[in-house]
Structure 1
Amino acid sequence: MAAVAEARAAFSDTLIRLERAIEERLGGLRTLIDEKNVPRVHPYVEGNVHYEGELVTHEGSTYQARCDTARAPSDEEHWICVAAGGLDGLSFRVRGTYQQDEPYSRFDVVALNGGSFVARRNNPGPCPGDDWQALCFQGKKGPAGPKGDRGERGPSGASIKGCELEAERYTLILNQGDGTSLSINLRPFFEAYHAECNG
């Protein structure tokens, strides 16, 4: 029984390897067939003869020769356009808050007065204006929400516990309940008073 099981396992492994080898060989043959059947695209070379059915790229587009020709692909009698080149893609560019002195270009988006605007063209002028398109505006203030729960009581604020006067320094010292003190220089007040009295 063990010998039969081993033989079956060996046969199964051999069969799997054989199927993989066949699949690899078939894949290679398919690739060769596809390469022969699929037309290749080459860049157009001025002055070269391009043959009927040949595909070339020229100035961003793809053309197929209607006949053997040495003319440029722009000649519609000798070439047919298979795929025309597209335009450069443009997308919004966010520029932040509108600044009057900043230069702006088409599709630049700015924020102003709670709204946003997009430039319709290059150098659009002052925003808002005819060359700016509003995208959105700030909404109206909504109704007040329900009142929240009362918060925890905070620590007591500083209170004046006592005061001292240092006459020689013209300084008033306020001692606070939290152990800190606050010094107030009174000299400027006395000097101002003295100047007024003697003026």
Structure 2
Amino acid sequence: MINPTSAVPLYVQVADDLRRRIEMGEFSESGVLPSENGFCEEYEVSRATIRKAIQTLVDDDVLDTRHGKGTFIRQPKIVSSLSTFKGFTYFCHENNIETSSRVLALQEVEPPVAVRRHLRMEENESAVYLKRVRSINHINAMIEHIYLPVKNFGFLLGVDMENASLYETIERDGAATRG
């Protein structure tokens, strides 16, 4: 707990203990922390100490304060690197975020003119069209619309894209079709 005789400032001790408790999942599912007064009683420190500890955790992107609403546990940010191009599934997995997909369409189509131009496709070329709902932790997050030239990516038409990463599939199966 808190040691008032320690050389470590009280607010740092409180911040460290709160961080540990947050990491252990001690606080409510809603992510709302108890009031400052509750923490003052629990830690037997002043309100100024609690506020400084909370501000330390806000500065460290652990907590978020909303005036008149309270203090909330901040959801972790997704970390990614511009040096790799791995896709949604990869970055969520790397950040311990559960993903799922529901395929709405996976078919060969004539792509829209703007897509054809952007992909530098010939006028008579068809495209693989993948449309799916992507979810994060069981919450729908986005609808994905993907067009890829059939001549290079036709193999995708035979893949279960509800349970596959597009980038991993292209990396794995695309090399085999070119090889």
Question: Which TM-score tier does this pair reach, normalised by the shorter chain?
Answer: under 0.3
In proportion to residue count, which structure has more strand?
A: 1
Q: What is the TM-score normalised by the length of structure 1? A: 0.22
In proportion to residue count, which structure has more helix?
A: 2
Which one has the largest radius of gyration?
1
